[in-house]
Structure 1
Amino acid sequence: MATYWDPFQEMDRLFGSIAANNRTAPAMPMDLFREGDHFVLAVDLPGIDPGSIDVSCEDRTLTIRAERTPRSGEGQWLLRERTTGTVARQVALGRGLALDDISASYADGVLTLTIPVAEEAKPRRIEVTHARTDHTIEA
């Protein structure tokens, strides 16, 4: 019975696992969903000072910036995985949104933006009237 042996198979597996471990999650993971006549954007910002959060909208681009300050004090780091500094993320917004009415709140490490749909973009029912015509035949 013959068996196939690939000398590079173990190296491929090793390099694949290294590459998989180097993938990093976005600095600001977010969820976006529609709820009735508005969209909700929830952004994870744990450990962020609420006073450092800046949300702006310019030319249909929503920009979120926040600052995570480094821990001060004496001591020797044993493990340091939490990033510090400024994090930012931009989201392109489509047409049909009421950009002047966006509201934001921050609680439990989550920034929640509520983006309403513009009145002119909401679906509406158009009534169809029926014009009655008399079809009389004269004899």
Structure 2
Amino acid sequence: MTLPVHHQHGRLLERPFPTVGWSEPIAAEFGDLFERMNRFLEAAGAAPAATVFSPPADLRETDDAYFVEAELPGIERDDIDVELGERELCIAGEYREQEREGVLRRSTRRSGRFEYRVLLPADVKEEEVTATLADGVLTVVVPKSQGARSKHIEINQA
């Protein structure tokens, strides 16, 4: 059974909370809740102080290569680590807190360690992998090995 899709523009966390006439975005409420839960768990000794999150990224495939594009605005090239082993690509690093004057009243920007991992579906040429950082987007190109490239097979009439 297929259900109709109702689409509202904008991301869920950017839309106002729908009940009780709240005017702040729902992200602020969830952020506050997660912060309080983290403090509670840290006090109980059940959770580590640092959390790791995954940046937004796309994985594309062409006939010759895989392309991973990860959004890393404000990150310096030296603060990013790209590794490839056993068909797994790992992009890791850290968003550092900026030095600011005055009192920070509200922040929705993440900071801390990030990590993006993806398992590539075919053998690749590890020695030919390239990575470039431009305009806050890290692009990693992972060429396919000759045996991993797809071959079109013509279907004959019986």
What is the TM-score when the length of structure 1 is the normalising length? 0.66
Instruction: Call closer, same or farther: CA 1:81–1:124 in 2, change over 3 Å.
Output: closer
- Unmatched tracts of structure 1, length 5 or more: 1-12, 15-19, 126-139
Corresponding letter in the other structure for 2:83: S
* Structure with bigger gyration radius: 1
Tell me what 1:92 maps to: 119
SS in 1 for 2:69: strand
Q: How many equivalent residue pairs? A: 109
**AA matched with 1:97:** V
Which amino acid counterpart does residue 76 of structure 1 have in structure 2? V
Residue type at the aligned position of 1:50: R
1:28 maps to 2:55: yes
Aligned equivalent of 2:134, options 85, 88, 107: 107
Equivalent-residue separation in structure 1 for 2:150 and 2:115 (angstroms): 34
Given that 2:59 and 2:66 are in contact with CA atoms closer than 8 Å, whether structure 1 keeps it comes out as yes
Tell me by how many angstroms 1:74 deviates.
2.7
Secondary structure of 1:112's partner?
strand
- Superposed, 1:1-139 pairs within 5 Å as 14=19, 22=30, 27-123=54-150
The answer (yes or no) to whether the contact 1:98–1:118 under 8 Å persists in 2 is yes
Does the residue aligned with 2:108 lie in a helix, a strand or coil? Answer: coil
**SS at 1:36 equivalent:** coil
Identical-residue share of aligned pairs (%): 28
Name the aligned partner's letter for residue 106 of structure 2.
L
What letter matches 2:123 in structure 1? Answer: G
Query: How far, CA to CA, are the matches of 1:118 and 1:47 in structure 2?
Result: 33
Q: Could you tell me how far apart the structure 1 residues matched to 2:89 and 2:78 are? A: 18
Distance (whole Å) between structure 2 residues aligned to residue 71 and residue 96 of structure 1: 40
1:49–1:68 contact (8 Å) kept in structure 2: no
| Counterpart Cα distance in 1 of 2:69 and 2:138 | 6
Counterpart amino acid of 2:149? K
Cα gap change, 1:83/1:124 in structure 2, threshold over 3 Å: closer, same or farther? closer
Runs in 1 of length 4+ with deviation above 4 angstroms? 20-23
- Change over 3 Å in CA distance of 1:123–1:52 after alignment to 2: same
Q: CA deviation at 1:56?
A: 0.6
In structure 1, C-alpha distance between the alignment counterparts of 2:76 and 2:150, rounded to whole Å: 40
Query: How many Å separate the matches in 1 of 2:62 and 2:122?
Result: 17
CA distance in 1, matches of 2:97, 2:83: 25
